[in-house]
Amino acid sequence: MPSISRDEVAHLARLARLAVTEDELDLFAGQLDVILQSVARVGEVASQDVPPTSHAVPLTNVFREDVVRPGLTQQQALSGAPAAEDGRFRVPRILGEEQ
């Protein structure tokens, strides 16, 4: 007997706003049942003496030194802009805001 019913699959499909046929309900119920059984099997294998892991191999983050470097001046940054106004980039209004 499947652990997930056709009605539950139909409910999930409605929540996800998916249009599914009657044949697809049967197909998906079977596929979801296989997935749920596989997850249950993994839970059975897990043992108390096995520590939980997030990755199969150890990972190490590599960070570089934070070094302050000179940036562009305001004039240099605005020199390539198609339009500038009052020391800032001028861009087209997109939200129809009031002035």
**pLDDT tens track, the chain, 99 positions:** 458 899 999 999 999 999 999 999 999 999 999 999 988 888 777 677 777 777 888 888 888 899 999 999 999 999 989 999 999 999 988 876 665
List the domain boundaries for the chain: 6-45
Name the CATH topology of 6-45: Histone, subunit A (1.10.20)
pTM, two decimals, is 0.46
* pLDDT reported for residue 99: 57
Write b or e for each residue in 22-41: b if 16 or more Cβ atoms lie within 10 A of its Cβ, otherwise e.
Answer: eeebeebbeebbeeeeeeee
* pLDDT reported for residue 1: 44
Residue 95: helix, strand or coil by DSSP?
Answer: coil
CA distance 34 to 21: 20
CA distance 96 to 6: 49
* pLDDT reported for residue 53: 76
